[in-house]
Structure formats: C-alpha cells, structure tokens
Structure 1
Amino acid sequence: MSLSHGQYAIQCQLCEGDPKVKWNCLDCELLMCSKCKDKVHSKFKSEKVHRIIDIKDVGQQSKCEEPEERVSSSPTNVKLKNIKEYKTRTVDISFLAVSLDGSLWIGDGDKEEGFHLFTSYTALQNVKLVGDKVKVLSSFNIEVYDIAVTPSNDILLAIEGSRLKQIKAGSNKVSDSVYFVELSYITSVHVTKDGRVIVGGGKVIVVMDTDVKYLARYEEDENKKPIFDGTIWSTTSTLNGNIFVAQPYFNPRVVVLCKGDVINNYTGPPSIKSQRRFNPRSVITTPMDHVIVADCFNHSLHILDNTGHLLTTYNTKDIGIEYPRSLTITMEGPFAVLYIGCRNTGSCEDSSDTGQLYKTNIMGC
C-alpha cells in the first residue's frame, strides 16, 4: 500500500509538543525541534560525536551496506491516540489503501459465487468514513490479493495472473494495467513515492518504473539461493531505497532488500517467538521512515528502522485491537493517521457488520 504524498508534519520526540521538527540524530534515532537539540540533546552522553542532520536530508544517508547484527534499544515512544472503531461487512480486512481524496479501499479479497441480492461485495470496496459509519461508495466482486494507490490516484490490483488490474481515478471499471510481469500470479503490489511499482509473486520481487521498464528483480541471493521460500504477502519501501517484504507463512519473516541483495531478515524478537508464531501480514512505511509490521497472531505492531532492525513493539490488544492484518497510513493536517484492518474475532453468522476497522493517530514513529 502506498503512502499519501505531500510534506509530513511530525512532533519532536523529546518534548512531544513542537511540530516543527528540524533535526534528526542518527545515533539516538530521534527527531527533534531546534530547542530540544540545543537544550536537551546537548546534555546527552557522547553527544559531541553523534551524527545530527537536517530533517530534509533524512533518507539521503545511504544505509545499503551490510548492517551489523543487532537489536536496537528503542528511544521511540509509540502512542496510538484518538482510536475510532468502525464495523464493515467484511469478515476479514485483508488489505487497506487510502486514496488521495481520503476515501479508503478495503476488502477480504474473496470473490462471491452466485447472485446475492442487496449485497455489497466484500472482495473490494471503496468506502468513506462518515461519523461512526462506513459508507460504501462502490464495490467489486473480483478476487484480489493486494492493492496500491498511484500518484495519479489510480488503483492497482494484484490478482491471480501476470498482469496488474487497475481502476482509473473517477472510474468504477476494472481494466488491464500496463504492468505485466513474467510470473504465474501476483500476490503483492506497492507504489513508491516517486511512482515506481513493486510487485511480488511466485517467490519473486520485480521493480518497474512508470514506463514499465524493469529496474530490478529479486529472486536469488548472492549465493544463488532462493531469497523467498514462502508466499509474498505485503511490500513497502523506505526513502533510502530499501524494500521490505512480508512473508507470513512457512518461514515467517520480513526480508529487507537493497541494490540487488538481501541486507536483513527480521524474524521477530525472542519474546514473540516463545509465545506464538510470528505472523507478519502487512508492512507500511511511516513519515519518519520507519516500517510498521502487523503481526496478526500476536496482536502486535513491530516498529523497525529503515534497515530492518527492531526499535520497539506495540501490543494492540492493550487498546482492544486484535488480529491486525492490514495497515495503511496517511496525513490529516499535522497528524499521521494509521488505519488498521483486523480479522473478525466473533461469529459473523448473525450479523452482516463484522469486520473491524480502526482509525488512530500514531505518534513516535
């Protein structure tokens, strides 16, 4: 799923009050206003050797080199605020995307067979949140694995087959896109901020530009061994050019790719592994260039830096959100808004309103 475009406004992580973030400490992994840089960060031990850059240069620092094996202690104080819950007609919200007009694309991806009178298809819906209700603008009975929004507000659909489908902005018609890959099926699609299209399927990742020129193909590592050994489920990218790929089953992990090679494999912290199996279902990039991983089975969000190292985890069950399956993020004024789609935890036999959708303001990542 792609990020919305435009300038991100985020809060200082030290005072948590000044939205005019100016500085980024690469060693502390903190974003700061000028006042906190001079008055607070200057008192940190070894501050004189810390690398502090202008926020405008975030992402320009190349981190594609092989990273050290480490788990960072996190200065990130992640908070979810103003949590709003919505009921939908989907049993599971398997994917999410937000359009440039603020409407959402949601669905469970499963095509319904036969004729169902007065039923809005849950496979794919374009919806708008009105008050505490979900208004369906349009719906499509088409099997979908993943969706992404382009810079021109078109919707790209990953479906079974070798070509991405599309819904052009302002249209309610599903048609073929220009994006074709030599894969038997496509299970993941992501659009970068500059319009590059990343597709995954058949244990392969392909990167294309807007002219459908192949820029990269990830299938084998430098030792000629397959990179992926399970289904590719979700993909995102960071400003330094890294690609994050979620593989939730068989060998569950998040693979981090850069310049033709694997630079990291995130398999979850030991505390997660000792409880339930790590289940990374969705990955999304934040305004601070971190990556959030939705771990469905453990009711948690994992926040990684842009090379795939753990910063912190957030237990969503503590705030009543269970089985997070899909994520998308956008900006509303100065606030970063995270949408979380979940699996229905109860029986859907007696109610058509089953799928859980949450809207939150996320701070600290």
Structure 2
Amino acid sequence: MAMSRPQGQCPIQCQLCEGDPKVKWKCLDCDLLMCSKCKDKIHSKFKSEKVHRIIDIKEVGQLGKEMVSTSGQPKARVSSSPTNVKLINIKEYKTKIENINLLAVSLDGSLWIGDGNEKKGFHLFTSYTALQNVKLVGDKVKVISSFNLLVWDVAVTPNNDILLATGITVESRLKQIKAGSNKVTDSIYFVELSYIKSVHVTKDGRVIVGGDNVVVVMDTDGKHLTRYEKDEYKKLIFDGNILSITSTLNGNMFVAQPYSNPRVFVLGKGAVINNYTGPPSINRHSSFNPLSVITTPMDNVIVTDYSSHTLHILDNTGQLLTTYNTKDIGIEYPKSLAITMEGPFAVLYIGCYTWSYEDSSDIGRLYKMNIIGC
C-alpha cells in the first residue's frame, strides 16, 4: 500500500488553476493562493475584485510566520479548513418544478432536475416534472426531455449514463437512461432492497446505493463489494432512510440520514468512522435535516440543511470546517446539490424547496454560482 505524503511536504499549487506550482499572489479576502496568470485573467473578473487585498506571497510572513517554512518558501496549509468560503456570481433560474428534489450535472454540461413525483393521467403538450434533462440558456431553463416516473435520486456514470433510484421496484434494480437515449431501461445494478432511495457513482465507476437501513457498494459490473448494515455487535448501523450519498478521494463515503435520528455517517472500509449531527449553535434553533451531500474539488463535503438554510462544509473525515447561511444571499430552503468544474472554476448548483404556494412565481428556484475556498 502506498503511503500518503505528509501534508507539510506537499508542493503548493495555484488554487484557481490547480496546476501551476509557481504561486506568486495571495488574496486575503478570498483566502486564495494564485499564480500570476490566474491573478490577471481569472481573479480580476470577480465582481468585488477591486476592493480585495492581494499581496505578494513573500509578504505572507509579515502577516503570520506560520505560513512560511524555514526555507522561506510558502508552506501548504496543514488544515484545508475553508475559513472564508465565498459564493459569487450567483444566478437564479425559475423552473416549473415546485420542489427541486433531484439535481445532477451530465458530462455534457446539461442538468438533470425534478421533483421525482410521477403524475397520473395524460398531459398533452406539458413537460413532466418528475425528471427533466435541461440546459441553462441565458436566464432561461430549456427542457430537452422529460420523464414521468417515481424517482428518488439520480447519478451520472463516467460514460454519461444516468442511473435512477426509483424507490419501490419489483426487482429492486436501478433504472438507467443511456447517454444519447430518451428511454428508461433496467440497469445491471440489482440490490435486494424493497426501497432504493439513493444512488451515487464514484470517480472510478463504483455504484453505491442506499435504502432503509442499508448501504451497498457495487463494482462496474454490478458485483457486490461491501454491504453496510450491521456493526461488529450485530446492531443496525442506520435507523432510517439513506437519501443522499457522496464519496471522497480518500475512499470514505458520506451518507445522509435526514429524518429518523438525523445525521451524516462517514463510512470507511467496512465500518463507520464518524458521524456528523450539526453544531449546537445551529441545532438549538432548528433541527438538523441533511438532505443532500456533495464532494467539492478540494475533497471536502457540502451538506444541505434546508430547515436552517445552511450549508455545512466538512473535511473528508467528517470534521466540521465551517457553515454558510444561504439565506444571507437570498437562497432559502436549499435541498439538492450538484457541483462541476467549468475551466478553473468550481460551479455549485442548488435546488430549493418551495413553501409559498400562493405566489406562483415563487416556485422552482434553481441557483448557479461559483464557490471559492472549499
């Protein structure tokens, strides 16, 4: 087994392009280390860039010697804690979906969104809202195709196929939509569960599903690798539905159990290594409701807590790094998450619940933004 290199010895890289090791600048407001090219070409386009404090990396030592090694070169931070997470360039899109429970990004840049609710009867000339493949064009949401079926969760494979967790199924089998197709078919992924309510695909193509009290990991051929159900004392690990799953580069899996005994479990190789229940400072005002989890390009995990309008940002072992109140930027009841890279930028999508049904304009709010610092 290859040993990981101590963080203190990691070569530092530009945190925008993540490629150039010649870091020249630090933005104190964004908490970003940058090469000269990204400073001029990318950071300069930030809306508030003109008032940001940018210093030469050589001056960092004057602010805190702990940031500079004995050789005078900038050190990589021992902790990846995003002390200054920023959501910028926020764009709002209105859809005809009341509650955006489903959200995923295809490899072609299109989105999969939906409420997951199958509609009875025939609806001529109307796009179904259970599941839609859409593109964002200007400030509009263009529906490419729509599907009318019960869906609990969606995931994108490395081949750009779409896997669907459809809840109650006779065969307990994931459904799929092959890339370039508009047809829903059976996949090879079969699990002996009555309710498959969550699905996630790792970077290397492993498929992870969750249901009532169970999480199962499969390889690319559908072979079962690991089943998380009981601990070493034969007691159930989970005591509720698993509604969202993500994975980190260190091999850990994060699974969200939002309702019964709400928490985010961190699963290692065959065991629970941590669980997160939210900080007391937030929990004292509203109950913790972790409805969605997603991994960032920096290998941290974002958790939506819709009842408190909060994003909880954890490191890849499940330790809290920081929280972000989305209500401060006008985003209420965040439910679903998706993240992708557009060039050097990390782009975060947030789909929201809707509570005000009296105003028809207050439905289907989808947000797109750049996320910096995590």
In structure 1, list runs of 5 or more residues that go unmatched.
Answer: 1-6, 22-34, 62-71
1:129: which partner in 2? 136
CA contact (8 A) 2:80 2:315 kept: no
Match of 1:204 among 197, 214, 217: 214
Match of 1:145 among 141, 146, 152: 152
Q: TM-score, normalised by structure 2?
A: 0.81
CA contact (8 A) 2:354 2:362 kept: no
Distance in 1 separating the partners of 2:241 and 2:216: 15
1:77: which partner in 2? 84
> 1:193 and 1:73, CA in 2 relative to 1: closer, same or farther beyond 3 A?
closer
Q: Number of residues paired by the alignment?
A: 328
Match of 2:360 among 351, 354, 358: 351
2:292: which partner in 1? 282
Distance in 2 separating the partners of 1:140 and 1:53: 52
Match of 1:336 among 337, 341, 346: 346
Match of 2:117 among 86, 110, 119: 110
CA contact (8 A) 2:60 2:68 kept: no
Match of 1:315 among 308, 325, 330: 325
1:90: which partner in 2? 97
Counterparts of residues 1-365 of structure 1 (less than 5 Å):
9=17, 14-15=26-27, 16=30, 18-20=33-35, 36=57, 40=60, 43-45=64-66, 74-160=81-167, 161=169, 162-347=172-357, 351=360, 354-365=363-374
Please state how far the C-alpha of 1:184 moved relative to its aligned partner: 1.2
Please state how far the C-alpha of 1:214 moved relative to its aligned partner: 1.4
CA contact (8 A) 1:10 1:19 kept: no
Q: Residue 271 of structure 1: SS of its match in structure 2? A: helix
Distance in 2 separating the partners of 1:234 and 1:215: 19
Please state how far the C-alpha of 1:347 moved relative to its aligned partner: 1.2
> 1:14 and 1:263, CA in 2 relative to 1: closer, same or farther beyond 3 A?
farther
Distance in 2 separating the partners of 1:149 and 1:75: 27
Identity of aligned residues (%): 70
In structure 2, list runs of 5 or more residues that go unmatched.
Answer: 1-14, 37-55
How big is the alpha-carbon RMSD for the aligned residues of Structure 1 and Structure 2?
2.8
CA deviation vs aligned residue, 1:274-301 (integer Å, no higher than 9, x gap): 0000000000000000000000100010
Larger radius of gyration: 2
Distance in 1 separating the partners of 2:158 and 2:304: 25
Please state how far the C-alpha of 1:351 moved relative to its aligned partner: 3.2
Please state how far the C-alpha of 1:115 moved relative to its aligned partner: 1.8
> 1:118 and 1:351, CA in 2 relative to 1: closer, same or farther beyond 3 A?
farther
> Which amino acid letter does the alignment assign opposite residue 271 of structure 1?
S
CA contact (8 A) 1:88 1:353 kept: no
CA contact (8 A) 1:90 1:353 kept: no
CA contact (8 A) 1:292 1:302 kept: yes
> 1:231 and 1:53, CA in 2 relative to 1: closer, same or farther beyond 3 A?
farther
Per chain length, whose mean CA-contact separation is higher, i.e. which structure has more relative contact order (CA < 8 Å, sep 6+)?
Answer: 1
Q: TM-score, normalised by structure 1?
A: 0.83
2:39: which partner in 1? none
CA deviation vs aligned residue, 1:156-181 (integer Å, no higher than 9, x gap): 00012210000000000000000001
Please state how far the C-alpha of 1:89 moved relative to its aligned partner: 0.9
